[in-house]
């Protein structure tokens, strides 16, 4: 299976920047997106052969996730066991052999003013994933809004304590991995540097590759031997993020 995740930073805008061409050429079995910034009826994109599921925020033009999948899931749920539904951040698709969870993790924001909510979300997400994992293996992906280690961003020293690279956020990701999950890209490429999935629109950051790796495919530990590759598609434009891809036999 080929799985793709992409924070499009506004789906309608990305549709004007080549999204459809990339979607068709990728031919993914599951293609999920984050930061749709729209309601379902605003999506002028219904590719043939795919089932589509949207989870939009109550606040218009904010957050939001979507999943396009060739194989119809057995069940689709939104949020975390009925919680964290207002911002449209989580879609879970259940298949015969695994759960697929698309997520747009809340940003802690400047001066970490939303860190308390972020920590609550992280704890609830970890508990949720662990609960799913007891039933069948989990593939968890999306914009997780954290660079886990110094190797995961260009300028770690100057970003210590900033949103996405605070001790609190990095610690929660460590806790998730310790609970029985694997960061597929870093597991396969433990020493690879200079590969990022997000760049600021300021200071020519993408041109200078001054980026962060904050988009992930995380899987249940017992799925790692089924992972063929985990890729960061840095050449794909259209957003301040690039897509990430997981090739897996399941």
CA proximity to 62, closest of 101, 91, 89: 89
Q: How far is CA 84 from CA 88, 103, 118, 221, in A?
A: 8, 11, 11, 26
Q: 96 labelled as ligand-binding?
A: no
Query: Would residue 201 show up in a list of annotated catalytic residues for this protein?
Result: no
Output the DSSP codes for 200-231. -SSTTTTTTT-EE--EEEEEEGGGGGGEEEEE
Q: 145 labelled as ligand-binding?
A: yes
- Across the beta sheet with 2-7, the strand order is 51-55, 65-69, 30-34, 2-7, 244-248, 227-232
- DSSP reduced 3-state for 103: strand
Q: 241 labelled as ligand-binding?
A: yes
Tokens 């593939």 correspond to what residue? 139
Query: Would residue 104 show up in a list of annotated catalytic residues for this protein?
Result: yes
Q: 35 labelled as ligand-binding?
A: yes
Among residues 68, 104, 196, 216, which one is catalytic?
Answer: 104
Let me know: does 53 contact 91? Beta carbons within 8 Å: yes
Among residues 99, 133, 140, 143, which one is catalytic?
Answer: 143
Beta-strand relationship, 215-220 and 181-183? antiparallel
Query: Would residue 189 show up in a list of annotated catalytic residues for this protein?
Result: no
Q: 169 labelled as ligand-binding?
A: no
Q: 229 labelled as ligand-binding?
A: no
Let me know: does 193 contact 138? Beta carbons within 8 Å: no
Annotated binding site for Mg(2+): 7, 35, 143, 145, 240-241
Which amino acids are annotated catalytic?
104, 143, 241
């Amino acid at each position: 299976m080929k799985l793709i995740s992409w924070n499009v930073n506004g789906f309608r805008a990305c549709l004007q920047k080549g999204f459809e061409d990339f979607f068709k050429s990728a031919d993914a079995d599951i293609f999920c997106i984050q930061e749709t910034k729209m309601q379902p009826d605003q999506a002028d994109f219904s590719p043939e052969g795919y089932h589509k599921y949207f989870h939009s925020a109550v606040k218009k033009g904010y957050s939001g996730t979507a999943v396009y999948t060739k194989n119809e899931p057995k069940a689709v749920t939104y949020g975390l066991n009925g919680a964290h539904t207002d911002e449209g951040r989580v879609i879970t698709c259940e298949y015969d052999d695994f759960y697929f969870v698309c997520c747009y993790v809340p940003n802690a924001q400047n001066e970490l003013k939303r860190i308390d909510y972020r920590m609550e979300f992280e704890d609830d997400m970890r508990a949720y994933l662990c609960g799913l994992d007891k039933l069948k293996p989990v593939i968890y992906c999306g914009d997780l809004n954290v660079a886990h280690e110094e190797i995961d961003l260009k300028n770690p020293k100057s970003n210590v304590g900033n949103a996405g690279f605070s001790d609190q956020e990095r610690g929660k990701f460590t806790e998730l991995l310790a609970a029985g999950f694997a960061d597929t890209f870093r597991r396969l490429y433990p020493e690879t540097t200079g590969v990022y999935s997000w760049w600021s629109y300021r200071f020519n950051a993408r041109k200078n590759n001054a980026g962060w790796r904050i988009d992930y495919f995380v899987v249940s530990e017992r799925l790692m031997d089924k992972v063929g590759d985990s890729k960061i598609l840095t050449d794909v434009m259209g957003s301040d993020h690039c897509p990430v891809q997981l090739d897996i036999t399941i």
